[in-house]
C-alpha cells in the first residue's frame, strides 16, 4: 500500500523536500515507515525521541497501523514553550 | 452556551494580526472580564540579535489542534468565548505572531484559560518558528533536550 | 530600564477606554509577550439584572495608588512596561471600566504581573462602583464581610 | 487645628455631603476624628471595621497623628475583588 509522507521545518530543510510517497507492506505501522526512512537517511535516527507522528492530522504513537493512502506527517519539536 | 462553535474562533493567517477581530469576537454582555495574550517577535533571544522570525505550519492539522485547545478551555473554565489566531511567514520585531482572547464572567477564569491556551498551543499545535539572527538561523524548539538533535545553525559570516 | 516613569502609564479617565493607547504604550522591541486584562460591565450580577455601573474615585489618591501597583510590578517581575487605565462615571453593559496591559520578555511574567495588578487595583485603589440593577442600586464591595454594614439598597418599585 | 474631611461613595450618600471641615484639639489622631464623627452620626459606628483612612492621600491607621490642614478621607470598601 502507498503512504504519503510530509516533512516540516527543520526536517523539510534537512531532507530538501516537503513530501514523499512510499510503498509499504500490508500491516505496516508508523514504526515501519520510520525504520525505512532512517535506513535511507541514517542521520535521522538520533531524532527519534524528539519527533512526533501524525496520521490523518492526528497525533499517533509509533505502533499506529497504517492504511492505504494514509498521510503520515513527521512533526519536529513545535515552536516551543521556552521562547516567549 | 450549547453551541461551542459560536463561541470559538481559531484562525491561521498570512496577514498581520488585528487584535480587534479577536476582542470583538469574544465580546459578550455576560462577560465581565477579558484576558488577552499576544506573542511578538523580540529583538534578542538567548543572547542572539534577532532579525526576524518565520513561521510555518502543518495546514489543516494546526487549525484542528487549536480548535481542540479552545474546546478544552470551554469545558474546563466558565468561559464565554475564546479567539485564537496565529500568523505565518515573516514576522518582524515587535509584530504579533500569536494572539488569544478569552472572555468570562469573572477575571480568574479568563486569566487561567488564556494562560492555559497559549501554553497548550506552544506544546501541541504543529507550528514551527525559525529565528533569523545576526550570523545565522535556527529552528526554535529544537535546541534543547532530546530535541537537541534537530539543532541546525547555519553560521553565516556575513562580513 | 532605570527610569521607571517611562515604563508606567496610569490614567483615570471620564471617557471610553481605548485599548490601543495601552497596547501601544507597552509595545517594546525587547518584549516577546503582552498580557492584557479588561474589566467590563456585565448584564447580571448575583442574580440581579444589571442596568449599568457608575464609578467614582478619590481624585489624586487613586492615581497614586495605581502608580504604586505599577512600581511594584516593575520591581517583582522582569516586565518591560505596564499601562493601567480606569474609567469613571457611567459604564454601560459591555463597556470597559478598567484595562491593564503588561509587556515582558516571556509570557509567564506578563500573565502573573497583569493578574497581580488587577487584583491589587481592586484591593487598594480608592475607586467605587455602584451597580444600578432592575429594582435598585448597590455600592459593590460593601455587601460582604465586615463591609456588610455599608450595604444600602434602595428598593425602588418602578412599576 | 482644622482638618478637612472627605466622604466617598456610600458614605457620601449616607452623609449627604462629600466634605467637611472640623476643628480638632492639638494631638488629635484619626481615631479622635472618627469618635467625633460617630458621636454626630451614631449610625456610622458599626462601619469602623470596614472603613479605611487616608491622610494626605496615603492609607494610615487610626493612631496616625493629625497636623493642621490635613485632609482625612474615609474610604469605604473599594470596588472589590469578587465582582469581576
**A–C CB contacts, 8 A cutoff, strictly below:** 6
Please count the structural domains in chain D. 1
Q: Do chains B and C touch (3 or more CB pairs under 8 A)?
A: yes
The answer as to whether A61 is a domain residue is yes
What CATH number is associated with residue B79?
Answer: 3.90.1170.40
Nearest alpha carbon to residue B26 among B112, B97, B85: B85
Number of other CB atoms surrounding residue A30 within 10 Å: 21
Instruction: Give the model's confidence band at C146: pLDDT under 50 very low, under 70 low, under 90 confident, else very high.
Output: very low
pLDDT recorded at residue B144: 44
> What value of ipTM does the predicted structure carry?
0.90
For chain B, the farthest-separated pair of C-alpha atoms sits apart, in whole angstroms, at 60
pLDDT recorded at residue D76: 93
Judged by DSSP in three states, B127 sits in strand
The answer as to whether C95 is a domain residue is yes
pLDDT recorded at residue C142: 54
The answer as to whether C109 is a domain residue is yes
Residue with cell 501597583: C69
Share of chain A above pLDDT 70, in %: 94
The answer as to whether A80 is a domain residue is no
pLDDT recorded at residue A83: 40
Global confidence as pTM: 0.91
Measure the CA dihedral D38/D44/D46/D49, to 10°: -90
pLDDT recorded at residue A47: 86
Residue with cell 456585565: C42
The answer as to whether A82 is a domain residue is no
Q: Do chains C and D touch (3 or more CB pairs under 8 A)?
A: yes
Check C40 against B30: CB less than 8 A apart.
no
Nearest alpha carbon to residue D14 among C89, C62, C153, C61: C153
**B–C CB contacts, 8 A cutoff, strictly below:** 86
The answer as to whether D84 is a domain residue is no
Tell me whether A71 touches chain B (CB under 8 Å). Answer: no
Average pLDDT over residues B78-92: 98
Q: How far is A79 from chain C (nearest CA, A)?
A: 14
Structural domain boundaries enclosing A53: 2-75
B118-141: pLDDT as tens digits: 999 999 999 999 999 999 999 987
Which residues 69-108 of chain C have a CB within 8 Å of chain B? Answer: 93-94, 105, 107
C-alpha–C-alpha distance, residues B40 and C80, integer Å: 13
The answer as to whether C86 is a domain residue is yes
**In contact, D83 and D18? CB cutoff 8 Å:** no
Instruction: Give the model's confidence band at D79: pLDDT under 50 very low, under 70 low, under 90 confident, else very high.
Output: confident
C83-121: pLDDT as tens digits: 999 999 999 999 999 999 999 999 999 999 999 999 999
Q: Which cell numbers hold the place of C38?
A: 479588561
Tell me whether D6 touches chain C (CB under 8 Å). Answer: yes
- Residues of chain A in contact with residue B147, where contact means CB-CB under 8 angstroms, are 50, 76-77
DSSP element (H, E) containing B3: none
The answer as to whether D34 is a domain residue is yes
The answer as to whether C159 is a domain residue is no
pLDDT recorded at residue D26: 95
CB nearest to C43's CB, from B29, B33, B111: B29
C3-49: pLDDT as tens digits: 787 999 999 999 999 999 999 999 999 999 999 999 999 999 999 99
Q: Which cell numbers hold the place of C16?
A: 471610553
DSSP element (H, E) containing B101: strand B96-104
Nearest alpha carbon to residue B139 among D84, C50, A70, B149: B149
A12-43: pLDDT as tens digits: 999 999 999 999 999 999 999 999 999 999 99
Length of chain D: 84
The answer as to whether D26 is a domain residue is yes
Structural domain boundaries enclosing C30: 5-152
Check C30 against B43: CB less than 8 A apart.
yes
Average pLDDT over residues B36-63: 96
pLDDT recorded at residue D80: 58
Of residues D56 and B158, more confidently modeled: D56
Instruction: Give the model's confidence band at B154: pLDDT under 50 very low, under 70 low, under 90 confident, else very high.
Output: very low
The answer as to whether D83 is a domain residue is no
Q: Which cell numbers hold the place of A53?
A: 507522528
The answer as to whether C83 is a domain residue is yes
The answer as to whether B157 is a domain residue is no
Mean pLDDT of chain B: 89
Is it the case that residue B100 has pLDDT exceeding 90?
A: yes
The answer as to whether A84 is a domain residue is no
Tell me whether C29 touches chain B (CB under 8 Å). Answer: yes
Instruction: Give the model's confidence band at B142: pLDDT under 50 very low, under 70 low, under 90 confident, else very high.
Output: low
- Residues of chain D in contact with residue C126, where contact means CB-CB under 8 angstroms, are 8, 54, 73, 75, 78
Please count the structural domains in chain C. 1
- Residues of chain D in contact with residue C147, where contact means CB-CB under 8 angstroms, are 50, 76-77
What CATH number is associated with residue A69?
Answer: 3.10.20.30
Tell me whether B33 touches chain C (CB under 8 Å). Answer: yes
Amino acid at each position: 500500500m502507498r503512504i504519503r509522507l510530509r516533512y516540516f521545518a527543520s526536517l523539510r530543510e534537512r531532507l530538501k523536500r516537503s513530501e514523499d510517497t512510499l510503498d509499504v507492506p500490508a500491516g505496516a505501522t508508523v514504526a515501519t515507515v520510520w525504520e525505512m526512512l532512517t535506513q535511507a537517511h541514517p542521520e535521522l535516527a538520533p531524532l527519534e525521541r524528539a519527533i512526533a507522528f501524525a496520521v490523518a492530522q492526528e497525533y499517533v504513537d509509533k505502533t499506529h497501523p497504517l492504511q492505504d493512502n494514509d498521510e503520515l506527517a513527521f512533526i519536529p519539536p513545535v515552536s516551543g514553550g521556552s521562547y516567549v | 452556551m450549547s453551541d461551542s462553535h459560536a463561541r470559538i474562533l481559531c484562525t491561521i493567517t498570512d496577514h498581520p494580526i488585528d487584535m480587534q477581530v479577536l476582542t470583538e469576537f469574544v465580546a459578550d454582555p455576560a462577560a465581565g472580564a477579558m484576558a488577552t495574550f499576544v506573542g511578538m517577535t523580540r529583538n534578542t533571544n538567548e543572547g542572539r540579535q534577532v532579525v526576524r522570525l518565520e513561521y510555518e505550519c502543518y495546514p489543516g492539522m494546526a487549525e484542528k489542534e487549536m480548535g481542540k485547545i479552545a474546546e478544552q478551555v470551554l469545558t474546563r473554565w466558565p468561559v464565554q468565548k475564546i479567539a485564537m489566531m496565529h500568523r505565518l511567514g515573516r514576522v518582524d520585531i515587535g509584530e504579533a505572531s500569536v494572539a488569544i482572547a478569552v472572555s468570562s464572567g469573572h477575571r480568574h477564569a479568563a486569566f487561567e484559560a488564556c494562560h492555559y491556551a497559549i501554553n497548550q498551543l506552544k506544546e501541541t499545535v504543529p507550528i514551527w518558528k525559525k529565528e533569523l539572527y545576526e550570523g545565522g538561523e535556527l529552528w526554535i524548539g529544537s535546541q534543547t533536550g532530546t530535541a537537541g538533535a534537530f539543532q541546525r545553525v547555519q553560521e553565516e559570516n556575513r562580513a
